[in-house]
């Protein structure tokens, strides 16, 4: 405690997003407060009703069970999407910071926000493992801090579910997807992942974690691969989904 107080004196806790150093005094112990009140309010979605199949925002009275008008025709290998908010404004800025080489603290803070905001959805089912969407090992060499894994690690810690970094592997280099259409993305991602030899996921419920869900092509391919290895149910947890 004394050491924490001394550190706060030397390095006053700052908001990870806006760098404001006026975090609330009562709970501004190092490591416990990540965002100032303003940023915290902006990171939380104004409405929480979302399509549970694709994460798209829904009106307050729309049922979230069977997919929305945006995803009803899509065939996804995953069963559910749990997300904090939409990839825009402050949450977009925060996600971009989490992707940077020094973004580990931001990644952990966003994962923590996700657990708090979606505790009900995340604890209503029992997961056998948390599986980060993997990156190609060559890309990993160049980038030791990887947002999907940082977020997955924190979710695993908070939910007390085993982190399985080894079962899913990216076996093929895929191009940057930013300018590809949804159909192109599916083709690019097809066969991108593999499971380690003799991995038996029979009957398991898995929580696949990524930072952002854009068209769902990557999550679909990861889920498809895990189901081929026997998984029964795959739920995708992301910080943000692209706005429709």
Q: Say if strands 233-241 and 193-195 run parallel, antiparallel, or are unpaired.
A: unpaired
Shortest CB 167 distance to Zn ion, Å: 27
Residue 51 interacts with Zn ion (CB under 5 A): yes or no: yes
Kindly tell me which residue out of 13, 15, 114, 207 binds Zn ion, with binding defined by CB under 5 A.
15
Kindly tell me which residue out of 33, 39, 114, 213 binds Zn ion, with binding defined by CB under 5 A.
39
Q: Which ranges in the chain belong to alpha helices (H)?
A: 2-10, 37-43, 89-99, 104-117, 119-123, 137-142, 147-159, 182-189, 217-228
Residue 219 interacts with Zn ion (CB under 5 A): yes or no: no
Collapsing DSSP to helix, strand or coil, 196 comes out as coil
Residue 121 interacts with Zn ion (CB under 5 A): yes or no: no
Kindly tell me which residue out of 23, 43, 58, 68 binds Zn ion, with binding defined by CB under 5 A.
68
Shortest CB 15 distance to Zn ion, Å: 3
Nearer to Zn ion, 53 or 99 (CB): 53
Residue 16 interacts with Zn ion (CB under 5 A): yes or no: no
Shortest CB 69 distance to Zn ion, Å: 8
Distance, in Å, from the CA atom of 67 to the CA atom of 216, rounded to the nearest integer, reads 14
> Within 13 Å of residue 116, how many CA atoms lie on the same side as its CB?
10
Reference 163, options 173, 153, 171; nearest CA is: 153
Catalog residues that contact Zn ion under the rule CB under 5 A.
Answer: 15, 17-18, 20, 36, 39, 51, 53-54, 56, 67-68, 71
């Amino acid at each position: 405690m004394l050491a924490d107080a001394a550190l706060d004196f030397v390095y006053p806790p700052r908001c990870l997003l806006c760098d404001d150093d006026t975090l609330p005094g009562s709970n501004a112990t190092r490591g416990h407060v990540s965002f100032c009140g303003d940023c915290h309010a902006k990171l939380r979605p104004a409405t929480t009703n979302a399509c549970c199949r694709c994460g798209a925002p829904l009106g307050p009275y729309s049922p979230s069970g069977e997919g929305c008008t945006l995803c009803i025709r899509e065939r996804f290998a995953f069963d559910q999407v749990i997300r904090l908010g939409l990839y825009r404004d402050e949450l977009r800025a925060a996600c971009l910071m989490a992707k940077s080489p020094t973004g580990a603290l931001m990644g952990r803070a966003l994962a923590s926000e996700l657990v708090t905001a979606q505790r009900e959805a995340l604890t209503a089912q029992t997961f056998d493992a948390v599986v980060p969407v993997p990156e190609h090992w060559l890309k990993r060499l160049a980038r030791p801090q990887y947002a999907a894994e940082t977020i997955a690690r924190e979710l695993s810690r908070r939910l007390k579910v085993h982190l399985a970094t080894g079962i899913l592997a990216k076996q093929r280099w895929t191009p940057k997807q930013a300018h590809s259409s949804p159909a192109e993305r599916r083709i690019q991602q097809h066969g991108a992942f593999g499971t380690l030899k003799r991995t038996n996921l029979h009957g398991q419920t898995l929580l696949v974690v990524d930072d952002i869900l854009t068209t769902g092509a990557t999550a679909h391919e990861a889920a498809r691969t895990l189901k081929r290895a026997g998984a029964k149910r795959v739920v995708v947890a992301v910080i943000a989904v692209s706005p429709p």
